[in-house]
Amino acid sequence: MAEPQTRLILLTAPEAGPDLGQRLARAVKAGDVAAVILRLPPGDERALVNAVKAVAPAVQEAGAALVLAGGGTTDLATVASRSGADGVHVPANHGAEDRAEAEPSEAADDEEEDEDDAETPLRALRDRLRDGRILGVGRLRTKHAAMEAGEAGADYVLFGDEAKLGLDDLVARLTWWVEIFETPCIALARDLAAVPDLVATGAEFIGLDPVLWAGEGGEAAVAEAQQLIQARPAGEG
């Protein structure tokens, strides 16, 4: 049986400009794009909902999912629900500041809980997204953080958004994950030349950094990434 084809994920920049919808409409049609991770700038709930609604048709009408990230302190789950987005993407330390502000007695009680039963911020967010919306997790600085994200019910994990992780280390991390875990992973490419090596790890998705596709004529970069994927089937080292 043939291996499933690796698919593309497009990541946007937080300040993407007023023509983002038009650029996305062209880009998502240039390759097999499974989803767009829309990085939102800080803003209030109404402004973010309106911003999402402005670009959602360009993504969703092409058959791709729209996943929200960023947004400052605004509740992404609420923005996703109100705007019709398909999910949210958060860092592995989501909610860490709230936990740090807990009363000392509460923190002590938390330490005594069984780790498997503890209600972590990621698990709480997963529970809020039981309406079928996607939960993605990135900024996975350690293997342990990645495993915790998977245990919390993440629909995918993203590797490569940590600037200090070079290509060799990223390939090693992806290979480790794919060989052991069933949760799908995204391999973030900051250079098209890295795409073949990332595909060879067996990662289910290749994420394209906005530096690759968000400029003028970015759909050509998406098309090139698609060609590189097709030239090297997933998991073919």
Q: Which CATH number fits domain 7-231: 3.40.50.10800, 3.20.20.70, 3.30.70.890, 3.40.50.300?
A: 3.20.20.70
Domain ranges of the chain: 7-231
**pLDDT tens digits for range 139-173:** 999 999 999 999 999 999 999 998 678 999 999 99
Predicted local confidence at residue 60, as pLDDT: 98
**pLDDT tens digits for range 55-94:** 999 999 999 999 999 999 999 999 999 999 999 999 999 9
SS3 content of the chain, % helix, strand, coil (to 5): 45, 20, 40
**pLDDT tens digits for range 196-205:** 999 999 999 9
> Cα–Cα distances in Å, from 43 out to 47, 138, 151?
6, 21, 31
* Closest C-alpha among 91, 153, 147 to residue 119: 153
What global pTM score does this model have? 0.90
* Closest C-alpha among 202, 192, 211 to residue 235: 202
